[in-house]
Each structure stands twice: as structure tokens, then as C-alpha cells.
Copies of this chain bind each other. A is one copy, B any other.
């Protein structure tokens, strides 16, 4: 966020927000492009928010493309950030992540890469409560400068949260917290299916993605598959992200590997163990080696998946679809 934004708790003034929306081409048009083309829509220094949560529907293919492109100094936000946070730090794509929780996952212990970067002051992990993250996106989605809420009060998290303000409720006299709206420059969201226009239908857990898409100034969708607009129109009540918010649609099967995509594949646990092992002893060298092997050497997304391995992919796929077996 720019310095003007910081003074207002990061809130984009209303007319500026409206102007940014007005100037977009929001019509029903084909937005299909390649991962590499979509990666060009993100500029150094922008605020990029990531859909999904922890090890679910992480927009890994898009992050992969951005890191390969060498994008720099992104401010990144997500509800809960996992390995992708490590890799954004380690690659230099970001030195500032705003989230409620940052680690690979409880099973793998506290992230060594996150620790190495934050404890040395090389990068910033800005911590908000999980609900605060959600309500900041919600305020952004609604076009209001803040949301009132009732947690974070009294805590150290509030002391360190830039821009949150307490207020005496004019109706009840109660103490409330006002958290400032987040309107990311770009939201990266991975979905099970969408049409060429960007109408996305999500299955299962939606996390903060629906609000995030409405809040963002641009949205890049990666999708397991592109379906026809006719298919979307047969069940419009299943559309969770509307085409009008979307600027790019990229078809990337297994686009959130090694994380899961609800109903299609579960996390690639073997690969996640491998990452944890590679970064356990020397986080910097380990992350560098990991990026080299999985991000820079493969020449495309299929080659990346190949490195992870076919057996893992098939196993993740089998476990993923099992949610519909009952």
C-alpha cells in the first residue's frame, strides 16, 4: 500500500475506489489466457491477496508463475498463509505478509523459513485476528471504509494492528473495534470450475474468496477446468464469483498442488513432507534449493507436476474425490 493509504489505515477513499471500478471493462467477454500472460497483470509493489486457506485452494500455479517472472515487493494478504508464504519471502516476491496465521501447518511445526525471515527483520509478518482479516475483505467488498467487530480488543494483536480503531457505539455505548477495509490490487483465486468470462462455481469450503473477489481491484482466476457459460447459467445460484469482478481466467489442472482443491484432490502429503525436510536445517538454502528444483527448472506447470510425481498426484486425486463417496 502506498503511504497515502497507510495514513488512512490503508483504506482507499470512496471516489478513488469507484473510479478504479468504473475504468475496468466489466462486460461479459472472454478472458482466457495463459499463466504467463496472467502473471503480467501483477506489478511489483502491488497488494496481492490469495484465495483459499492453509492447504486448500492455494493459487499455487499463479504464485509459481509470479515467482518465475521475478515479481518483487508484493504486499500479500491471506486469511491463513502456509508454504506459499515461505516461498514468497524466500523468492523475494514479498517482504510483507498480512495474515492471521503463518506456518506450513500444525503437523509440520513452526515454519523455519517464516522464522528465518521475520526474526532477522528481513520481512514483515503483519498479524490480524482471523475474523478481522475476513471483515477487512468484507468491508472492501461492500464499499464501506470499515466493519465494526467485537474481538481483538484488549489484546497485543490490536496494539500492533495498524489502522484498527476502537469506538463507543452510538446506539448501545458498547466498545467496538472498527477494522479498515482491504481492497487488494489483485486477488488470485483458484476454483474448481468457471466459464471463459470468469463466472466461478466453488464447491465445499469457500473461505474468504467471495468477499475477496468483490473487494479486489482486479481478480485473476485459475481453474481446474473451464466450462461453458451455458453450464453456468443452468445453475446460477452456484456461481460464487461473478464475471464482472474477473480480469483473467487461466485453466490449470491441479493448479493448487501440492495443496488441495475440494472434491478433486487432497494435499500431496509426501511432497509437503519433502518441503518441510528440505527447509528444516538450513531454511534459506533449503528454500532456495526447493525454488530451483520446483519453480525454476520445470519449463511448465505439467513439468512441475511431473517433478512432484505421478504416484502422488494419483493418490491425492483418489483421496480428493472420496468426499463424494458417502
Contacts and interface: CB of A to CB of B under 8 A. Distances in A.
A204 B8 contact: no
Nearest to A234: B326
A85 interface: no
A146 B169 contact: yes
Listed from nearest, the 4 A-B pairs whose CB atoms lie closest are A11-B171, A145-B171, A144-B148, A145-B172
Interface residues on A, range: 20 to 34
Interface string A207-226: 00000000000000000000
A147 B147 CA distance: 7
A272 to B, nearest CB: 25
A237 B144 contact: no
Contact of A14 (B11, B172, B237): B172
- Most chain-B Cβ atoms within 10 A of its Cβ — which of A11, A144, A180? A144
Contacts of A167: 170
A268 to B, nearest CB: 23
A320 to B, nearest CB: 15
Contacts of A205: 237
A143 to B, nearest CB: 7
